[in-house]
Amino acid sequence: MVVQHALVAAVISLSLLGPATEASGQPKSDVDGRPAFSRVGFTGQLGASFNNPGLQNTLSTAWSKPLSSSSNPLLTGAAVSLGLVSVTTPTMTRIGAWLEYAPLSIVAVRAGFEPIGYFGSFTSLMPFQSYDDVYDKDVLSRKAGTTSGVGLRSYVTPRVQFRAGAFTARISADVEHWRSSADGPYFYEATRDQLLASSGDGLLNMTGIALYEHRLRDGSLSAGVLHGLTRVFSAGRNQSQRLGAIAIRQFSTTRFKLPQPSVTVAVYQYLDDPSKQHSLGGAIAIGFRTGR
């Protein structure tokens, strides 16, 4: 049981638009007139997916320091932000911190790290001998050699985003390094659905989303397309590529006893994948946010 975290997290976060955009409101000032750090808010998401099936819960909070008091749209989102995040699935939990620099509203770079605790459940740290080993659903269902342990994910993520009227687009590229205490030379990392070297491995995870937003009295309804690509640098043949459709219903007030909730649904086809090529996958997520 896993969640396609690489795609699901990006899908959910687009409805929140991240700290770089949320910080574009009127900045606070300290006693000498310079913008001061202020808390952006608190967000939470619970997502489920099929092919691969699973669950993921994400909680995060952030603080942001605006870099400009200009009303120019290119500068209103310029900020330095920092945050804390917790990600939990049936196989592991990650708790980490990140720092983000956004010189413009449309450009940001984030760097962070997340220590990982693997539970030993489902496919947790399942060992493999080679990148070439088969890790389809039949192999993973045997859960051979799964164990508890620890790991570390570190990453740098450049991001470009823009809004033109009702249209919104966002492209991000996670450049990640993973390592773990798995028993074998390679292990199955469920949230990336890839085989990685236990001693340390790098991968690229790219996500592109384009949406058309229709404003409603109590929020908005957005629909569009999404594309995801995950590639292990040392084993490009194991890459996974997805293309699909997405819809987001964002509420501007409290609903279902949640502040500013959102409901996200995505359906995609695997264009390229070692075991799921041409098959369908999908995800649904419920999120909330407080603050700006």
Question: In this predicted model, what pLDDT tens digit does every residue of 234-287 receive, in sequence order?
Answer: 997 889 999 999 999 999 999 888 999 999 999 999 999 988 989 999 999 999
State residue 18's pLDDT score: 40
E strands present in 16-91: 38-50, 54-66, 79-88
Assigned CATH topology for domain 5-289 = Porin (2.40.160)
Identify whether the C-beta of residue 205 lies closer than 8 Å to the C-beta of residue 213.
Answer: no
Angle at 250 between CA 248 and CA 254, to 5 degrees: 150
Distance of CA 41 to the CA centre of its chain: 17
Tell me how far apart the alpha carbons of residues 94 and 72 are, in angstroms, rounded to a whole number.
Answer: 38
State residue 41's pLDDT score: 84
228: buried, middle or exposed (CB in 10 Å: 19+, 13-18, 0-12)? buried
For residue 29, what is the DSSP state? B
N-to-C CA span, the chain: 34
Q: Where are the domains of the chain?
A: 5-289
- Long-range CB contacts (< 8 A, 24+ apart) of 164-169? 166/212, 166/213, 166/214, 166/215, 167/210, 167/211, 167/212, 167/213, 168/14, 168/17, 168/210, 168/211, 168/213, 168/222, 169/208, 169/209, 169/210, 169/211
**pLDDT digits 0-9 by tens, 218-246:** 999 999 999 999 999 999 788 999 999 99
Q: Name the stretches of the chain with pLDDT < 70.
A: 1-36, 292
State residue 292's pLDDT score: 61
State residue 1's pLDDT score: 44
Distance of CA 227 to the CA centre of its chain: 13
Comparing C-alpha atoms, which of 5, 10, 16 is closest to residue 262? 16
DSSP 186-230: EEEETTTTEEEETT-EEEEEEEEEEEEEEEETTEEEEEEEEEEEE
* Structural tokens at position 239: 């890459």
